[in-house]
Amino acid sequence: MPRHSLTDIDAVLAIARKGSFRAAALELGLSTTAISNAIGKIERRLGIRLFNRTTRSVSLTDAGRNFVDQVAPAMDDIYRAIDSAMSQQKTPSGTLRINAFAMAAREALSPLVLRFLRQYPQVHVDVVTEGRIIDIVAAGFDMGIRSADLIPSDMIAVPFGHAQSYAVVASPMYLKQSEKPNIPPDLLSLSCIRVRLPNGALFRWPFEKDGHSVQIDVKGPITLDEASLTRIAALDGVGIGLVWEADVREDIASGSLVRLLQDWTPALSPLCLYYPGRRNPSAAFKAFIEMARASARE
């Protein structure tokens, strides 16, 4: 007899409640493709069609309605049993998987992740950094860390950390032999450190002042595919770099790097920890979210 995962059955029940694959996907924190695949799989195993689908509507077939009527009460009993078991877990343990871009991971590591590990040593935290934006649910992550403006609208977001901004920087050695830019277009005649994005495109430097925005396609002697390498090149006097302010805060304070065009680099959207709504969060998951919320209040 075929066995069906709880996720597949949850998908059937969610679509029956919402009348839409997209609405069901939002409720379960899954992609629409994942929901569609789950329904296709369970229909093949059952040998029946559960839903009538058109481009405008989704409705239960007679067989689907009978299936939902029988399975829904059983699923309620299963989740009550799971909730009861998980409520008895007192000590956070297990693994938490977090996806973030590199700067966000660096900002979160000491004040949040390492602090959490000191308090809950039985938890293992797996942090994966990458430049591209992914579906954290489909990729098997518990949560992610991104700028607020990059977080999907169906996720729960918890802001934390300091306000973020870009910083245009150069070494004193470079500035001795070159003019300082006064406005962003001045960069077009100066040596700059270029960055290639994960999709292969060259990063155009964004600036904003008094409601006026401009992007500059800078030129220079070197192109890097990892933004954090820009700091090393700038410290060596190769040229002017655009980096996250958080990554060069100490260099600016010590005088190793000089910040330029600061009035053209205003604060950006704050960093947020984000995650899908969960029916049965683990003790480790709940403890991490609570620490993030507490950190935001500090």
The torsion angles phi and psi of 135, rounded to 5 degrees, stand at -85, 105
Same domain (yes/no): 184, 255? yes
The pTM score is 0.57
Same domain (yes/no): 56, 108? no
Given pLDDT bands bounded at 50, 70 and 90, which one contains residue 150? Answer: confident
Is 115 within a domain? Answer: yes
- 68, 86, 104: which is the final residue of a domain? 86
CATH number at residue 286: 3.40.190.10
Same domain (yes/no): 118, 62? no
The more confident residue out of 171 and 246 is 171
Same domain (yes/no): 46, 132? no
Domain interval for residue 63: 6-86
Is 189 within a domain? Answer: yes
Is 258 within a domain? Answer: yes
Is 134 within a domain? Answer: yes
Same domain (yes/no): 99, 247? no
Is 276 within a domain? Answer: yes
The per-residue pLDDT for 85 is 67
- Round to whole Å and give the CA distance between 14 and 144: 24
Mean per-residue pLDDT, 114-125: 93
The per-residue pLDDT for 1 is 38
- Round to whole Å and give the CA distance between 71 and 170: 65
- On whether the CB atoms of residues 240 and 234 are closer than 8 A, the answer is yes
* CA distances (Å), origin 66, targets 51, 62, 69, 210: 12, 6, 5, 62
The per-residue pLDDT for 298 is 65
Same domain (yes/no): 109, 239? no
Is 1 within a domain? Answer: no
The count of domains in the chain is 3
Same domain (yes/no): 24, 81? yes
Same domain (yes/no): 293, 150? yes
Same domain (yes/no): 278, 260? no
- 63, 86, 109: which is the final residue of a domain? 86
Is 250 within a domain? Answer: yes
The per-residue pLDDT for 183 is 96
Same domain (yes/no): 287, 143? yes
Mean per-residue pLDDT, 276-281: 75
Looking at the predicted structure, is the pLDDT value of residue 89 above 70? no
CB-count exposure of residue 20 (10 Å: 0-12, 13-18, 19+): middle
CATH number at residue 73: 1.10.10.10
- Round to whole Å and give the CA distance between 110 and 112: 6
- On whether the CB atoms of residues 261 and 168 are closer than 8 A, the answer is yes
Looking at the predicted structure, is the pLDDT value of residue 86 above 60? no
Same domain (yes/no): 56, 120? no
The per-residue pLDDT for 194 is 95
The per-residue pLDDT for 81 is 76
- 86, 117, 143: which is the final residue of a domain? 86
CATH number at residue 214: 3.40.190.290
User: What single-letter DSSP state applies at residue 262?
Assistant: G
